[in-house]
Amino acid sequence: MKLSQLIEGADCTLVQGSLDTEITDIVYDSRKAAPGVLFVCILGTQRDSHEFAADCAAKGAAALVIQHDIDLSGMPQVTVLKVDSSRHAMALMSANLFGNPARSMTMIGVTGTKGKTTTTHMIKSVLEAAGRKVGRIGTNGVYYQGRHLDTANTTPESYELQKLFREFVDAGCDTALMEVSSQGLMMDRVAGIHYDVGVFTNLSPDHIGPGEHASFEEYRSWKGQLFRRCDAGVVNIDDPNTEALLEGHTCRLVTYGQSEKADYRAGEYKLLRTHDFLGVEFPVTGADEMQVRVNMPGEFSVYNALAALCVGKVLGLPDQAIHDGLARCVVKGRVELVPISKKFTILLDYAHNEVSTESLLSTLRAYNPHRLVVVFGCGGNRSRLRRYGMGEICAKMADFSILTEDNNRFEKVEDILADIREGMLRGNPDAPFVEIPDRLDALHYAVDHAQPGDLIAVIGKGHETYRDRMGEKTPFLERELLEEYAEKIGLE
């Protein structure tokens, strides 16, 4: 592709060379520089890649994009463009390189502090129930047409993002659904993308500190940018930050919540529990009326389901598809039931810190189980405060705890368990627990000693498919391991 085509829509100044230069690819990692590529020099939080420009030119790079002046005397053969923001320019150029694939799909972006992953799964389930072919991008990877890819960031870099959109279109997807992080907005990973629907879940302090956001207000402001880049905004009207977040928005708004002001209001919800269902049922009133049933527990599931319902309404999907999609939605590793027995309920969840553990156990306690049992550990080479906190919460809120390994990395499991035990003593010195260092043995123990009516939460790993011991990762998929053991012992 000629450089002139690649920079269409981008505000660039030609410093030297020709816009007729042929470009084979775009790279922003100097190690990937090769003949014919365009190298984008990025001013990062840790490193300024402008210092690698000469090396890339020596490797045969056809063109450079720079954000500030550099010494070009040793590379007269390279075409050079100067821009105000390298990241912004890279996003627009990447879209052009891959044929602007986002324009060929319905684009849906979900932002917020909590609930993004679950909400995107619910939206995807509703869309697929309506016959849509969906590509989804988020915290737990990329999914489209039966394929799964891992990602380094919730919202990938713009080049990778546009490449994924191209793959979605080529695979027959008509919709792209993605989690849009504040970092993704601030760092121009989604620059140039216009969304048909933007969704806001909720907001609380997060990602504030060096290399992230300077303040909560800045964090909120970047989240709000999504609603200047979409046609319709589906927003949680009950969140106290909604009004400030929407300042300067340019989209039409559709609101949801439990408030009388909401366009779509959730009535009082009922908790439902069977051996293969742990969720809620509630009526929706307002702009439309329908009964909703979701196989996920707690009030947060009500809000996530309302957001998905609103997206369905905005896109004109049939009510039956919305109903069916919500009822059948399952999110791997997020309050995921493993229906191996009719006598007790066992689930997997990614909760791996004090706040998420407390939220989960509060939600599960509301179902009045015979016993609330927790199987958990803590990751190695991570903050010891997390171990104390999780131990304290489980001692206070669980009826019985099974302490075991998580991803120990390069720490001894005995040392990690000692810290958790200290936290449990702070929470409740009399809390009953057992220590079983091997996590597989711990899973077997939980099943073997389950009592009728128990609710067993296996937390910390969720959707992960491996166990990390001393830096060596081996396969460990808890759902499959539990199902295999249940079959082996003839569990009913």
Judgement on whether residues 20 and 162 belong to the same structural domain of the protein: no
How confident is the model at residue 14, as a pLDDT?
97
Domain of 227, in residue numbers: 101-328
Token pair of 35, please? 């003949």
DSSP3 helix / strand / coil % (the chain, rounded to 5): 35, 25, 40
Report the mean per-residue pLDDT for the chain. 95
Judgement on whether residues 91 and 106 belong to the same structural domain of the protein: no
Judgement on whether residues 376 and 246 belong to the same structural domain of the protein: no
Q: If residue 439 lies in a helix (H) or strand (E), which one and from where to where? A: helix 439-448
Mean pLDDT of 150-156: 88
Q: Are 145 and 171 in contact (CB under 8 A)?
A: yes
The pTM assigned to this predicted structure is: 0.89
Task: Tell me the C-alpha to C-alpha distance, in Å, between residue 216 and each of 32, 184, 203, 224, 237.
Answer: 36, 16, 10, 12, 19
Judgement on whether residues 134 and 253 belong to the same structural domain of the protein: yes
Judgement on whether residues 320 and 197 belong to the same structural domain of the protein: yes
Q: How far is CA 247 from the centre of its chain?
A: 25
- CATH number of the domain to which 354 belongs: 3.90.190.20
Q: Are 275 and 346 in contact (CB under 8 A)?
A: no
pLDDT in tens, 268-321: 999 999 888 899 999 999 999 999 999 999 888 999 999 999 999 999 999 999
- Residue 447 has a CB neighbour count (10 Å cut-off) of 19
Statement: residue 435 has pLDDT above 70 = yes
Mean pLDDT of 122-134: 98
Mean pLDDT of 222-249: 96
Q: Residue 184 has what DSSP assignment? A: H
DSSP for 86-142, please give it: HHHHHHHHHHHHTT-GGGGSEEEEEE-SSSHHHHHHHHHHHHHHTT--EEEEETTEE
Judgement on whether residues 161 and 234 belong to the same structural domain of the protein: yes
Report how many domains make up the chain. Answer: 3
Pairing between strand 63-66 and 79-82? parallel
Mean pLDDT of 168-182: 97
At which of 52, 68, 97 does a domain end?
97
Judgement on whether residues 442 and 308 belong to the same structural domain of the protein: no
Token pair of 226, please? 């999504």
Statement: residue 157 has pLDDT above 90 = yes
How confident is the model at residue 208, as a pLDDT?
63
pLDDT in tens, 384-434: 999 999 999 999 999 999 999 999 999 999 999 999 999 999 999 999 999
Judgement on whether residues 356 and 398 belong to the same structural domain of the protein: yes
pLDDT in tens, 15-48: 999 999 999 999 999 999 999 999 999 988 788 9
Residues 6+ apart with CB under 8 A from 29: none
Q: Which backbone phi and psi does 280 adopt, to 5 degrees? A: -135, 160
Task: Tell me the C-alpha to C-alpha distance, in Å, between residue 278 and each of 205, 327, 400, 455, 460.
Answer: 29, 11, 20, 10, 19
- Cross-strand pairs, 434: 402
- CATH number of the domain to which 218 belongs: 3.40.1190.10
Judgement on whether residues 123 and 7 belong to the same structural domain of the protein: no
Statement: residue 10 has pLDDT above 70 = yes
Judgement on whether residues 344 and 199 belong to the same structural domain of the protein: no
At which of 97, 130, 146 does a domain end?
97
Judgement on whether residues 75 and 106 belong to the same structural domain of the protein: no
How confident is the model at residue 209, as a pLDDT?
66
Judgement on whether residues 77 and 213 belong to the same structural domain of the protein: no
pLDDT in tens, 347-361: 999 999 898 899 999
At which of 97, 122, 153 does a domain end?
97
